[in-house]
Structure 1
Amino acid sequence: MPVESNLPDVVDILGVGYGPSNLGLAIALQEHNAAVPARERLTSVFVERQSEFKWHTGMLLPGATMQISFLKDLATQRNTRSEFTFLNYLEQRGRLTHFINLQTFFPSRIEFHDYLSWAADKVRADVHYGTSATAVAWNGRHFEVTTRSAAGSRTLRARNIVLAGGLTPKLPDDVDATDRVFHNHRVLDRLDALPSVNQERFVVVGAGQSAAEVMAHLHQRYPSAEVHGVMSKYGYSPADDSPYANRVFDPEAVDDFYSASPQLRDELMAYHRSTNYSAVDLPLIEDLYEREYTERVTGRRRLFVHGASGLSSLTESGDAVEVTIFHRPTASESRMRCDAVVFATGFRPLDLHGILGSLAEECRFAADGTPEVERDYRLRTDPSVSGGIYLQGGTEHSHGLTSSLLSNIAVRSGELVFSLAAHTRLADNPPLTAVLTH
């Protein structure tokens, strides 16, 4: 529940972006403030470019389920007594007993989105929706963040900023998005807006969970259309969600990963990529294969998986997209006209240089371009920048696989609040040596 903005001239925390990560932070801040004396409470404001809280609404496909337990919600692993847990959401919605009868740890994606929206309405956070952060500067004492909204431009000042700008959809370098060629993250919106469906044929590029989900959805939504999956693998690989492999998402694994050498970090990432990247839930793989096999039996083929393949050409012409599917082992080609091409080709992390501008020159980056980050997710900066720049996402290289996932939001939010409170107290009460030097 957004509160009426009555901010001091300088807030303790300015959050850029208001998806699940900064929503979790807002909840942790509210619970922190309720537990400490008034003088120790932290002030905050968030800016979000969307007009309301939304989380990947273009991928809320019917039947799609979460890939993490409902217990990895916004609060439970940090505070089991929180009023913002998924279980309390179910009780408030009158569905607790019905959910128990489902006998599952994995709610539908539609339901989890409703939970997130419920939490966003419930928490008392000052959120400026429809507002983008266009520039960030350090004035020697505070951050000055220039924002833009329908009402015009405004400058907000904060002692610390928390960047949670989310992920940017990634298309191949030689592909431009159009009405018929698009990324999967808004597939439902894009399908609803298709100018026409004349070819009754779709192509999906990618081998991960999203690609498989889009394949299944298109095959069901358009019962007369062919659906072609194109991937460099021979087929979809199952995600490793076994109990021991899932330890890579445990809060303790963040400490392990952060303290490991760069070589060991690379090894751990290679070992466990199948828990998240280019991997699909086994029941969905089996469902797609059964559909394809049944069509082979009946002789009415609609579902095709082109393994060890890629697109060698793509041209939009009139009411169709013409593609060439290149089979790498044999160098053979298949040309076809389709109504749309969906790229399930992943995301890029937040562009720190883009959002920080010249302030990025005061931040430390490794030789490979990745930011240097402290264990508390604080970006390493030149000593002249005494305020904290915290990252929610974009820290996979330093903190492991949970960086851009929901798995660790509750625990990470608590760690951020602890660090923000400590640094804010230090700024308000500098050491005696620091006082004597000024």
Structure 2
Amino acid sequence: MSAGHANAAHHEATPEDDLIGIGFGPANLALAIAVEEHNAQCGPGRAIRSAFVEAQPEFGWHRGMLLPGATMQVSFLKDLATMRDPASRFTFLRYLHDRGRLADFINQKSFFPTRLEFHDYLGWCAAEFGDRVHYGREAVAVRPVERDGRVDGFHVVTRPSGNGTQEQATGDERTLRAGSVVLGTGLRPRLPQGVTTGPHVWHTRDLRFRAEALTLRPHRRFAVVGAGQSAAEAVEYLHREFPDAEVFAVFTRYGYSPADDSPFANRIFDPSAVDDFYRAPDDVKQALLGYHANTNYSVVDGELIEQLYRAVYQEKVAGSERLRILGTTALTAVEDLPSGARAVVRSLTTGEVRELDCDAVVLATGYVPTDPRELLGALADECLTDDLGRLRIGRDHRVATTDRVTAGIYVQGAAAEHTHGITSSLLSTLAVRSGEICDSLLLDRAERDVFTGLGDAPETGTATSGPVSVVAG
């Protein structure tokens, strides 16, 4: 990635760029791959010109949770390309072959790589696009480019994101221009009301970095708040890495709930399930999200639950209990202290209040989606919404707008869950979704060319047909 990264700061999108992707996590990385593979197959003049803006100084995906031994909860076949085109050069299997580990991986007899290995795969893919990504820059506004009273393009205003580079010191503002924008701005940490992070109060997003830097530990104790997969992984990690410390798991449930990863339930992650969900009436959409929330939200892998239970039981047998489960217990306050953090918890069944002085309190309280409209300014008023004020989003992931906007605004991520279902923020359909957006961009451009007399009638299926197709959460 280093060579591409070095050039990224000097790349400027031209006025003819077809799209600018805001954010360069797995979703827009999958889109970059789909565009790249379309461009490799298309005829002259059909290539899609793209650029991306990423606040991080280099590619990274949940780095703070790259815990030793933690595995993916999704099959390696649901990588950035296989479900769209198994022959792609960006599949996980091609990565393994390139790294010289294909036979070794096969001998594991597992569909689930470690999170560390999958992150390396993502970085391996991202390295191909360093010259198209503005790393270390944050998109701060999307402004309309108007012609004859219509919005036919966008200016994306970027500034240094504060990553400590020389570029940040200049404080320069740059403007990129393209015909469409794809908003893949990800999630932001959810914190309990009235709680802020600090030196000894961490969100799991920063767990590995914070834990590895912890040197002074007067209390020999940690508290982890939450009952989902990240919470259980944090408990297991701290219990293993700090063998002299107590680890308190604090959650309002009676115990951890297992994730439903049974074959029929997993069909909710199939690409075809997105079609079913999108066509369903609103009440059915809500019912499906409720029925299958236990495939993803506030649930834990069954093997990890059993591992933690065994640890609790074996410590009871040994008479030295370090792993303590505080079920049916609510966090009521957290105070960051010079020597650590104090968590105040209350039993929901007895009302007993207890103070836990800890070396750190870890908040495994999840994430909330960013609202794409935060970047759009006045353009947000041109976006159509449903009766609940949510964005109306087409099946091709394009935001519905007034007729005045002819340029495309696309959304990737959790902001589309109400229209496209539970996979919107997951990896499962990234490969297919990226091809759908690529197809939509091609169709939109062809229709514009016909309108202006510059091209033939629009073709459909450009990105989803052929032996090397370009058809991704």
Q: Which TM-score band applies after superposition, normalised by the shorter structure? A: over 0.9
Indicate the residue corresponding to 2:17 in structure 1. Answer: 11
| Partner of residue 435, structure 1 | none
Choose from 85, 102, 106 the match for 2:108: 102
Matched, 1:215 2:235: yes
Equivalent residue in structure 2 for 1:401, among 422, 438, 445: 422
User: Match for 1:291 among 308, 311, 318?
Assistant: 311
Match of 1:250 among 248, 270, 279: 270
CA shift at 1:362, angstroms?
1.2
Structure 1 residues 43-122: aligned runs within 5 Å? 43-122=49-128
Correspondence for 2:220: 200
Amino acid in the other structure paired with 1:317: L
Q: Are the counterparts in 1 of residues 398 and 409 from structure 2 also a CA contact under 8 Å?
A: yes
Say if 1:7 and 1:337 are closer, same or farther in 2 by CA, change over 3 A: closer
Instruction: Give the deviation of 1:124 after TM superposition.
Output: 7.0
Matches within 5 A, 1:21-420: 21-123=27-129, 126-140=132-146, 141-149=152-160, 150=167, 152-194=172-214, 196-393=216-413, 394-420=415-441
- Relative to the length of structure 1, the TM-score reads 0.96
Counterpart contact for 1:180–1:194, Cα < 8 Å:
no
Q: CA deviation at 1:7?
A: 4.4
Q: TM-score scaled by structure 2?
A: 0.89
Counterpart amino acid of residue 388 in structure 1:
G
Structure 1 unmatched ranges of 5 or more: 433-438
Equivalent position amino acid for 2:89 in 1:
E
Q: Which amino acid aligns with 1:8?
A: T
Separation in 2, partners of 1:56, 1:425: 38
| Letter in structure 1 aligned against 2:431 | A
1:200–1:158: structure 2 CA closer, same or farther, 3 Å change rule? same
Q: How far has the Cα of 1:121 moved from its partner?
A: 1.1
Q: Is the 8 A contact 1:363 1:380 kept in 2?
A: yes
Q: Is the 8 A contact 2:195 2:333 kept in 1?
A: no
The 2-side partners of 1:286 and 1:195 are apart by: 31
Distance 2:144 2:448 in 1: 15
User: CA contact under 8 A between 1:230 and 1:306: conserved in structure 2?
Assistant: yes
Q: Secondary structure of 1:11's partner? A: coil
Deviations 1:237-257 (A, max 9, x none): 111111100000000000000
C-alpha distance 362-211 of structure 1, shift in aligned 2 (>3 A)? same
Question: What letter matches 1:422 in structure 2?
Answer: L
Between the aligned partners of 1:308 and 1:353, the Cα distance in structure 2 is: 38
Distance 2:205 2:379 in 1: 30
Describe the superposition over 1:394-421 as per-residue Cα deviations: whole angstroms up to 9, x where unpaired: 1111100110001111000110100011
Q: Cα deviations across residues 346-401 of structure 1 (Å, max 9, x unaligned)?
A: 11112223211221111122343321101100011111111110001111111001
Among the aligned pairs, what percent are the same residue? Answer: 49
* Superposed displacement of residue 309, structure 1: 1.0
Is this contact kept in 1: 2:251–2:330, CA < 8 A?
yes
Question: Following the alignment from structure 1 to structure 2, what is the Cα–Cα distance between the partners of residues 413 and 313?
Answer: 43
Q: Residue 45 of structure 1: SS of its match in structure 2? A: strand
- The separation in 2 between residues aligned to 1:285 and 1:301, in whole angstroms, is 17
Amino acid paired to 2:309: Y
SS in 2 for 1:366: coil
> Offset at 1:330?
1.3
Runs of 4+ aligned residues of structure 1 deviating over 6 Å after TM superposition are: none
Q: Is the 8 A contact 1:269 1:400 kept in 2?
A: yes
Cα distance 1:6–1:134, how it changes in 2: closer, same or farther (>3 A)? Answer: closer
State the SS of the aligned residue for 2:376.
helix
Q: Which moved more, 1:81-90 or 1:421-430?
A: 421-430
In structure 2, runs of 5+ residues without a counterpart are 147-151, 161-166, 454-473
CA deviation after TM superposition for structure 1 residue 329, in Å:
1.3
Separation (CA, whole Å) in 2 of partners of 1:28 and 1:296: 53
Pairwise CA distance, 1:6 = 6.8
Q: Deviations over 1:45-67 (max 9, x none)?
A: 00111111111111000010000
Report the CA distance between 1:194 and its aligned residue.
3.4
